[in-house]
Amino acid sequence: MEVVMADPLDAYSQIVSSVAAELLGKVALVRAGRGSGSAVVFTADGFLLTNAHVVGGSRAGTVAFADGSSGEFTVVGRDPLSDLAVIRAQVPTPEPARLGDSDELVVGQLVVAVGNPLGLTGSVTAGVVSGLGRSLPARSGSAVRLIEDVIQTDAALNPGNSGGALADARARVVGINTAVAGIGVGLAVPVNSTTRAIIAALIRDGRVRRAFLGLVTSPAPLPEQLRRRTGQAEALRVVEVVPGSPAERAGLRAGDVVLSAGRRPVGDAQSLQRLMFAEAIGRPLPITVYRNGALVDVIAEPVELSVQS
């Protein structure tokens, strides 16, 4: 009689343990100033991604990896308004983690958090995506911006997890853990096309130049007639126009519904924020809004967002 031994790990445990095996060596313990956190190796030549609040105002610090290697790092660039920073290790680093795309996530999906909470190197927790499309306020001096499409998870996060990886079942990094909002509520900055643009700017320039339009908006569903006409289900309703801003000078008003900007449909705040990088500064930006039953076209010219530390 043949005896079949049961697999000691169930399917859930197999996934979590395989993600842990893939990522534990690629997430470093970071110490900068008086604080500590985590960072994820994402290039073969020593660049790591972390939170801006982990490095704070420091220009350098130390990294330590699970294999026992350690050394110094320098801060390449930081962007408090996305809470992202890029650092570069001055010692050899492990193979880079693979970056995924948070836009593909669905609520209920399994995610694994890898980091160094409370200074405990190489800690792993697991949970699910509890919510998508959350917003997280970020501040730099007098400038305040909402980080859009923040990922909410119930994977346990603790101080020191910040800057660590939030990964999917294939060990692709889909978020950078950034905050604990309460018991069972962790938040992560999404890894998507906007994040990649920020990372590229930090490596290239050490900072992110942003365009300022001067609109405060909220998502708004479109009436059926307008849906058929535009092919859009949602747009952005203007809640407030900042006095003296490019939006006010262009004639935009509270109550307008922004349908497109730069000749691209605008369905959520992130689709507008994607346009607000250096390329848009000082350049005409065509905007179409729905106002009092009619489509109105205006031209705005964004200025550079002034960020003071």
Query: Annotated catalytic sites, by residue?
Result: 53, 83, 162
Three-state SS at 12: helix
Task: Give yes or no for a contact between 25 and 121, defined as CB atoms under 8 angstroms apart.
Answer: no
d(CA 199, CA 217): 26
Three-state SS at 105: coil
Task: Give yes or no for a contact between 257 and 290, defined as CB atoms under 8 angstroms apart.
Answer: yes
Q: What are the E-state strand segments in 141-233?
A: 143-153, 165-167, 172-182, 185-190, 211-212, 215-221
d(CA 239, CA 40): 38
Assigned token pair, 185: 């509520």
Which amino acid does the sequence have at 37? G
Q: How many CB atoms lie within 10 A of CB 142?
A: 9
Task: Give yes or no for a contact between 23 and 167, defined as CB atoms under 8 angstroms apart.
Answer: yes
d(CA 280, CA 121): 42
Query: Any idea what DSSP says for residue 51?
Result: -
d(CA 167, CA 100): 8
Burial group, residue 141, by CB count within 10 angstroms (0-12, 13-18, 19+):
exposed
**Please, which residues have CB within 8 angstroms of residue 264's CB and are 6 or more apart in sequence?**
271, 275
Burial group, residue 84, by CB count within 10 angstroms (0-12, 13-18, 19+):
buried
